[in-house]
Amino acid sequence: MAKVKTTFSCQDCGYETPKWLGKCPGCMSWNTMVEEIQAPSKNHRSYVTSQHTVQKAQPITAVEREKEARISTMMVELDRVLGGGIVPGSLVLVGGDPGIGKSTLLLQLSAKLAERKARVLYISGEESVKQTKLRADRLGLSSNELYVLAETDVTRIEQALDEVSPTLVVIDSIQTVYRDEITSAPGSVAQVRECTAAFMRMAKTRGIAIFIVGHVTKQGAIAGPRLLEHMVDSVLYFEGERHHTYRILRAVKNRFGSTNEMGIFEMKELGLEEVKNPSEIFLAERSEGAAGSVVVASMEGTRPVLVELQALIAPMGFGNPRRMATGLDHHRVSLLMAVLEKRLGMLLQNQDAYLKVAGGVKLDEPAIDLAVCLSIASSFRDRVVSPLDVAVGEVGLTGEIRRVSRIEQRIQEAAKLGFNRILIPEKNIGGYTVPRSIEVIGVATLETALAVALGR
């Protein structure tokens, strides 16, 4: 009889140790060690070796290139994030906060594919079949090609795949499914690892796409071992505030496309609707004539997005000055404030600074530096930047404005939305056609940019 082994596994990173530890040596987290009883599986090796075929190594030049046969989701925003559509045989992980709309998005995706006569199997481990039906009725979704199943056993799920032969499978969620061979509870490190490996094998051997939903921790990371994100082909994060209607879908990992793309949806009564032009949405409630407000043209993958940056500079009450930023890296904000203080003589060391990106968008590219500096200077000097101005550029530590990428797309987007003037790095001038409706001004230093924008 096989000997039963007891180990302690970290529920955050998957680190295993034969004895309990208060602090995980792998991720330095406290009180994350959970006891798991592991018995060697009798048929574990058999199902692995049965699917393994011996292949010989060959030169990469001898490998025939096959065009990726992608399946369109009929949702432009989702296709953009996935890199052009769903790749058959891929395993996609979708994570997000509770109630953000993960199940709604995947149920809408399943219904759209089913309407095109593609057979879809939606497996829920958290809802019964009747509850899934109620949610589908609320969203107005119905199709004979959409199959639903309430199951958590991986073996029975594999049998259902053989019976239905679907094109797409949705598993909601990976933390609820389990394998009989693993004695630990569903959602544990061992169960998540083995179940994900089983779904990866099903996707690759059958050539079907599988979407799995992953729960997230309080810190916003996907629950379970980090290995889970390494095993899948794509990792999508669904972001947004529960009390706001807009949702942002980002790809943090994608083996079949770019990881810089962003899809924007709006939660309505009948489910999620795509936002065709996010720039108009982010600028719709902008107040004109307010100091500290500047529009920046940021790139999200291949799409230019115009968003509003807001800054509030107020005298410090007591103690150390506060530096708070929402949607921006507060370390970069502190760096840019130091540049303004050193190069332009602004006395900001006794001022509290509060910065925000309107609309809940997160910006992390260097091209937003100039707009951040202009918004801080505008609020500090109480001078209004023209509401028809857009600023783009990276700011160096010596106060120079450095070149940015994809400047032509940024200018085209600003002109399309009716802006009259755009400030760009001087090195980005030339080499493209400028629309007649917008004036392009090249600036070489931060001092010149402030003189143009604030009229100094």
100 in a known ligand binding site: yes
99 in a known ligand binding site: yes
> What confidence score (pLDDT) does residue 38 get?
64
329 in a known ligand binding site: no
- The stretch 381-406 carries a mean pLDDT of 95
Q: How wide is the angle at C-alpha 269 spanned by C-alphas 263 and 271, nearest 5°?
A: 40
CATH architecture of 281-454: 2-Layer Sandwich (3.30)
- What tokens were used for 264? 């924007």
Strand partners, 310: 293, 356
98 in a known ligand binding site: yes
Task: Give the percent of the chain with pLDDT over 70.
Answer: 93
Q: Given a cut of 90, is residue 338 above it in pLDDT?
A: yes
* Alpha-carbon span 195 to 197, nearest angstrom: 5
CB 301 within 8 A of CB 364: no
pLDDT digits (tens, 9 = 90+) for 11-55: 777 788 888 999 988 888 888 888 877 655 545 444 444 445 567
- Return mean pLDDT, the chain: 88
pLDDT digits (tens, 9 = 90+) for 68-108: 678 999 999 999 999 989 999 999 999 988 888 999 999 99
* Alpha-carbon span 14 to 25, nearest angstrom: 11
> What confidence score (pLDDT) does residue 374 get?
97
Q: Which residues contact 103 (CB under 8 A, 6 or more apart)?
A: 124, 135, 172, 213
pLDDT digits (tens, 9 = 90+) for 353-372: 999 998 778 898 999 999 99
> What confidence score (pLDDT) does residue 91 get?
96
> What confidence score (pLDDT) does residue 40 get?
54
Choose among 31, 35, 42: nearest CA to 19: 35
* Alpha-carbon span 104 to 289, nearest angstrom: 40
> What confidence score (pLDDT) does residue 46 get?
40
Choose among 214, 239, 251, 237: nearest CA to 81: 251
Q: Given a cut of 60, is residue 320 above it in pLDDT?
A: yes
Residue 336 parent element (H or E): helix 330-344
Q: Given a cut of 90, is residue 226 above it in pLDDT?
A: no
* Alpha-carbon span 57 to 63, nearest angstrom: 10
Task: Give the percent of the chain with pLDDT over 90.
Answer: 60
Count Cβ neighbours within 10 Å for each residue of 57-83 and write b for 16 or more, e otherwise: eeeeeeeeeeeeebbebebebbbbbbb
Q: Whole-prediction pTM value?
A: 0.77
Q: Which residues contact 66 (CB under 8 A, 6 or more apart)?
A: none
SS3 308: strand
> What confidence score (pLDDT) does residue 41 get?
52
CB 61 within 8 A of CB 200: no
Domains 69-275 and 281-454 share a fold: no
Q: What ranges make up the beta strands (E) of 188-256?
A: 209-214, 234-239, 246-254
Sequence spans of domains, the chain: 5-40, 69-275, 281-454
Q: Residue 374 is which amino acid? A: L
Look at the alpha carbons of 178, 143, 208, 264 in this order and tell me if their dihedral is positive or negative: negative
pLDDT digits (tens, 9 = 90+) for 143-178: 999 999 999 999 999 999 999 999 999 999 899 999
- The stretch 122-129 carries a mean pLDDT of 94
Q: What ranges make up the beta strands (E) of 240-342?
A: 246-254, 262-268, 271-274, 293-300, 303-315, 323-326
Q: Strand 168-172 vs strand 209-214: parallel, antiparallel, or unpaired?
A: parallel
Look at the alpha carbons of 403, 433, 363, 336 in this order and tell me if their dihedral is positive or negative: positive
Q: What ranges make up the beta strands (E) of 138-270?
A: 146-150, 168-172, 209-214, 234-239, 246-254, 262-268
Choose among 78, 95, 85: nearest CA to 256: 85
Report how far apart, in Å, the C-alpha atoms of 279 and of each of 284, 307, 417 are. Answer: 8, 6, 8
Q: How wide is the angle at C-alpha 306 spanned by C-alphas 302 and 311, nearest 5°?
A: 130
* Alpha-carbon span 449 to 442, nearest angstrom: 9
> What confidence score (pLDDT) does residue 261 get?
83
> What confidence score (pLDDT) does residue 32 get?
82
* Alpha-carbon span 113 to 143, nearest angstrom: 10
SS3 158: helix
96 in a known ligand binding site: yes
Give domain 69-275's CATH number out of 3.20.20.70, 3.40.50.1220, 3.40.190.80, 3.40.50.300.
Answer: 3.40.50.300
Q: Strand 33-38 vs strand 16-17: parallel, antiparallel, or unpaired?
A: unpaired
